[in-house]
Amino acid sequence: MKKEIQFSLVYRDMWQSSGKYVPRKDQLAKIAPVIIDMGCFDRVETNGGAMEQVNLLYGENPNQAVRTFTKPFNEVGIKTHMLDRGLNALRMNPVPADVRQLMYKVKHAQGVDITRIFCGLNDPRNIIPSIKWAKEAGMTAQATMCITYSKVHTAEYYINLAEQLIEGGAQEICLKDMAGIGRPAMLGTIVRAIKEKHPDIIIQYHGHNGPGFAVASMLEVAKAGGDVLDVAMEPLSWGKVHPDVITIQAMLKDAGFLVKDINMKAYMEARSLTQSFMDDFLGYWIDPKNSLMSSLLVGCGLPGGMMGSLMADLKGMHAAINANLRKKGQKELSEDELLVELFDEVQRIWPMLGTPCLVTPFSQYVKNAALMNLYSKSMDEKPFTRMDPAMWGMVLGKSGKLPGELAPEIIQLAKEQGKEFYTDDPQVLYPNDLPRFIKEMEENGWDRGQDDEELFEFAMHEKQYREYKSGQAKDQFNKDLMERMEKAQAGTAGAPVKHFTAADKRAILHPDAEPIEAAVSGRVIWDLDYVDQSTNPPFGKQYKKGDWMCGVQANGNTFIDNAVAPYDCHIAGIEKEHGSLVTKGEVIGWIEK
């Protein structure tokens, strides 16, 4: 009988490997039925990683987005899965144990079937507690091995790690090849060894396409007994993302595997919808270079998913480094020359820092250390003189046990700075914290949400949740979007940037809103009963018909032209902040029913 290979569409990761944001709830509702109609997917990645944090960043409730996206798949039996960073859960830094445990209850209630638990250090102590909590909540616990290529990360290393994770209760194993640098033959050896000892354990392979190994790796994994392959689809497949389902399906079918057919009409519809989401707003945060593969990634091992942020950081540092070189009368570096130097420095210091897998957040730590070393070099400083606290936390063992040994100079530097190494369970450093969040929600009158999902979001993403609740996040996102749209509307190089009118902004950002216009020229006065001395505008506050919302204090006198609610409404956005000057007829804000 032919071996069946299932496909999982990594729709969340497709976006996050391409740019900053993910689709809105209404967009996810549109695409889900079309993904189902494609007929080739047994699994879909619906959430996790940074997705819910970026929902908050553009002012959307992530819990509603997750429930909306998972529901259609739940109804037809397609399994949904999420990405889970173990000790860090859904953020970049460690999370208290009670918040981690609550996550699985919340996500299972929201319709998520499988959690993919990983740790960039591959420390079982950061993964095994999550296996237990996920299973208790009714989820399938998929323990994950972060794949990389080094003297430490051998086939034997991963085979032994898989044994520890399965013994710890893992129901599935994922090979997370986040940089796509896992060598196909080694991956086949790992999968074969796991399957020989544990034939019933499902193995799923996730490989980014960046340096070009992923297609060959998928074939080797399938031949060795793998069960599920993560794939993408146009217009976001290939480049730094993942191989396209069409290519992988055709390859496996020819190789004699049993694979589902693809409804190409639905594929093209999903492709068109995804492009429309990019055209709507998501494309303004996608770096065109993320659509390209690069063999330069083979040596440094950096994940394709961070290339966008890396290039932004590089551009910011480029001018500073060249300024230092000019002062010394040395030749300036082009951006490409600096990029190669950065990749070389990452490759040099990676083993010095204990060879962590270059995946979130450790890829950022190592990249940042390398970039700061290049800056220090331009300043004639010693390397590693500009390490930040997060970087030191990894080095000192506060995130878990490093896979490799630290270089003697790093150990000496820590001693010189009076830093102490930590070898116990890292979770001990981050005690339970839910009571603090419960108390504050009660004091604010905030609803804990269905299945405590709002409590979870607040505890997981405290800063972003506060900004979401106040409306500050939505305001900042809208400003950023408008700036990017105005730049994109500029014609040829050197042409003036187009500035959108109030009518343009209403159509783009507030299609269902009505403007509040200044009846006189003067200074804007917002409702201060809702805000702390106008540090933020009164987003989200519900006004009854006839309630005073804002006013304009006319220049040169004390007369204030008041704006009252024409109907029950809330303020959806502002154009003029409290205290700013406005002329008669200008739009100062937007209201929605």
Q: Which of 174-183, 328-337, 530-539 has the highest mean pLDDT?
A: 174-183
- Burial of 591 from C-beta contacts in 10 A (0-12 / 13-18 / 19+): buried
Nearest to 112 by CA among 86, 155, 141: 141
| pLDDT band, very low/low/confident/very high, at 390 (cuts 50, 70, 90) | confident
Nearest to 526 by CA among 558, 553, 501: 553
| pLDDT band, very low/low/confident/very high, at 179 (cuts 50, 70, 90) | very high
The contacts of residue 104 (CB under 8 Å, 6+ apart) are 115, 130, 133, 134, 136, 137, 139
For residue 417, the model assigns a pLDDT of 94
**% of residues, the chain, pLDDT over 70:** 92
d(CA 505, CA 385): 46
For residue 540, the model assigns a pLDDT of 57
Return mean pLDDT, the chain.
91
For residue 224, the model assigns a pLDDT of 98
| pLDDT band, very low/low/confident/very high, at 532 (cuts 50, 70, 90) | very low
Sign of CA dihedral 245, 247, 250, 253: negative
Sheet of 581-582, strand order: 560-564, 548-554, 522-526, 581-582
d(CA 296, CA 340): 8
For residue 559, the model assigns a pLDDT of 64
For residue 493, the model assigns a pLDDT of 42
| pLDDT band, very low/low/confident/very high, at 81 (cuts 50, 70, 90) | very high
Sign of CA dihedral 515, 516, 522, 527: negative
What does the H/E/C string look like for 97-164? HHHHHHHHHHHHHCCCCEEEECCCCCCHHHHHHHHHHHHHCCCEEEEEEECCCCCCCCHHHHHHHHHH
As a residue count, the chain comes to 593
pLDDT over threshold 80, residue 508: no
pLDDT over threshold 50, residue 587: yes
Q: What is the pLDDT of residues 536-567, one digit of tens each?
A: 455 556 788 998 888 888 866 666 778 889 99
d(CA 395, CA 402): 8
Residue span(s) of the chain under CATH 2.40.50.100 come to 508-592
Section 440-449 average pLDDT = 95
Within a 10 A sphere around the Cβ of 279, how many other Cβ atoms? 10
Within a 10 A sphere around the Cβ of 37, how many other Cβ atoms? 13
pLDDT over threshold 70, residue 505: no
Q: What is the pLDDT of residues 259-275, one digit of tens each?
A: 999 999 999 999 999 99
Tell me which long-range contacts 416-419 makes (C-beta under 8 A, separation of at least 24). Answer: 419/392
Section 184-193 average pLDDT = 98
| pLDDT band, very low/low/confident/very high, at 241 (cuts 50, 70, 90) | very high
Q: Which CATH architecture has domain 508-592?
A: Beta Barrel (2.40)
Section 199-219 average pLDDT = 97
d(CA 158, CA 193): 10
Homologous superfamily (CATH) for 9-285? Aldolase class I (3.20.20.70)
For residue 291, the model assigns a pLDDT of 86
| pLDDT band, very low/low/confident/very high, at 590 (cuts 50, 70, 90) | confident
d(CA 110, CA 454): 12
Q: Note whether 69 and 32 are within 8 A (CB).
A: yes
| pLDDT band, very low/low/confident/very high, at 471 (cuts 50, 70, 90) | confident
The contacts of residue 287 (CB under 8 Å, 6+ apart) are 19, 307, 308, 311, 312
Q: Note whether 71 and 101 are within 8 A (CB).
A: no
Residue span(s) of the chain under CATH 3.20.20.70 come to 9-285
pLDDT over threshold 90, residue 579: no
For residue 569, the model assigns a pLDDT of 87
pLDDT over threshold 70, residue 528: no
Residue 425 DSSP SS3: coil
Element (H, E) at 493: none
pLDDT over threshold 60, residue 533: no
pTM of the model as a whole: 0.84
Least confident piece of the model among 90-99, 119-128, 361-370: 361-370
Q: Which of 33-37, 378-382, 563-567 has the highest mean pLDDT?
A: 33-37
**% of residues, the chain, pLDDT over 90:** 69
